[in-house]
Copies of this chain bind each other. A is one copy, B any other.
Amino acid sequence: MSVTNMPVSPQVLGPCGDDDCGIRELLDRIGDRWTVLVLVELSKGVRRFRELERAIPGISQRMLTLTTKRLCRDGLVERNAYPTIPPQVDYRLTEMGRSLAQTIVTLADWSREHKGAIGEARQRWDAEHPEM
């Protein structure tokens, strides 16, 4: 049975406008790209603050601090501080964070695999709807 023919999980067959369907909760969780990028970077292994900063071009120190703090608060990331001089801090995914990162990677794979097909669909659509 291919993915496209699989029945969609019955758990989401209820009304989707309310909070119970998980979608709003999901977007609250991963709706911003910094959160997603930090999760994916940490899925590769333990990272120090500076390593995260370098791996995610464009993120500010302030935004990275906020993002890691929120992920720690949610129980998705674990922060460890070592009493060295200078003090060192590193971050790693918890088991729950790892399972979320895995599902995000699946979606990212989908995006990458279908990037070309979506681009072609847009070209076709634009050619057929020159007025829009």
A residues near B (Cβ < 8 Å) are: 3-4, 6, 8-9, 11-13, 15-18, 20-27, 29-33, 36-37, 40-41, 43-44, 55-58, 69, 72-76, 95-96, 98-112, 114-115, 117-118, 120-122, 124-126, 132
Contacts and interface: CB of A to CB of B under 8 A. Distances in A.
A109 B74 contact: no
A108 B118 CA distance: 23
B73 A21 contact: no
Q: From DSSP, what is the main secondary structure of chain A's interface residues?
A: helix
A107 B110 contact: no
Contact of A112 (B6, B22, B69, B114): B22
Contact of A74 (B95, B121, B132): B121
A17 B73 contact: no
A6 to B, nearest CB: 6
Contacts of A33: 23-24, 27, 31
A25 B116 CA distance: 11
Contacts of A9: 105-106, 109
